[in-house]
A and B are shown apart, each in its own frame.
Chain A
Amino acid sequence: MKACRKCHVLTNKSICPYCGEPTSERWQGYLIVIDPKNSQIAEKMKIKMPGKYALKVR
């Protein structure tokens, strides 16, 4: 999987389907947000959309 350099969402595509930024294969840390409305972690990370995210992208 690749991670968007801007929104950190994980995808198989080379361009992020959500924000159009290029994605990178160099990422670390794995976060799955299931219910962003009720999650403290999602709130801290300012994530509003359920999905899989990288914590760090280069």
Chain B
Amino acid sequence: MTKIFVIKTQVGQEENVANLFEKASRRTGKIYAILAPKELRGYIFVEGEDIETIKRIIRHMRYARDVLEKDIKIEEIEHFLFPPSAVANIEEGMIVELISGPFKGEKAKVTRIDDAKEEITVELLDAMVPIPITVRGEQVRILKKEED
């Protein structure tokens, strides 16, 4: 049975460290998969056989900081493997707040949801004329389930 180890990396260099691990594994073997989830900054997961191989690899690796002594179970990282849709909890009619982009801070009503693109179309509540704006699902925060 393989083990999954947590590697501390320099923030923003997660993918680079994953690539460096892949290169190193050609020489050392005993590395089976490397995972760098988008949600996790400063850490990646490496599936291998033993911690000694990983320690040897990161000793001279740029951007890799350390490996946590205790390995983790696959169940603990399962939610990273299947990230939920950004629009999973959003429904038409909901009141949301835009949290990034040019309309940051504005409140809006959801008029349409595109599951495939994970985008929603909203109408700003304070606008004089309702203009539909399409934004990414992660760009909003849900305020109210349904308009009162």
Contact = CB atoms under 8 A, between A and B. Distances in A.
B34 A31 contact: yes
A45 B81 contact: yes
Interface string A17-35: 0000000000011111111
A32 B19 contact: yes
Interface of B: 1-2, 4, 14-15, 18-19, 21-22, 25, 31-38, 45, 47, 74, 77-78, 80-83, 116-118
A28 B117 contact: no
A49 interface: no
Contacts of A55: 37-38, 80-83
A28 B2 CA distance: 25
Interface of A is mostly: mixed
B14 A30 contact: yes
A29 B31 contact: no
Contact of A29 (B22, B80, B116): B80
B38 A28 contact: yes
Given A34-B34, A55-B38, A41 B47 contact: yes
A45 B35 CA distance: 12
State the 3 A-B residue pairs at the shortest beta-carbon distance, nearest first: A39-B32, A28-B38, A30-B36
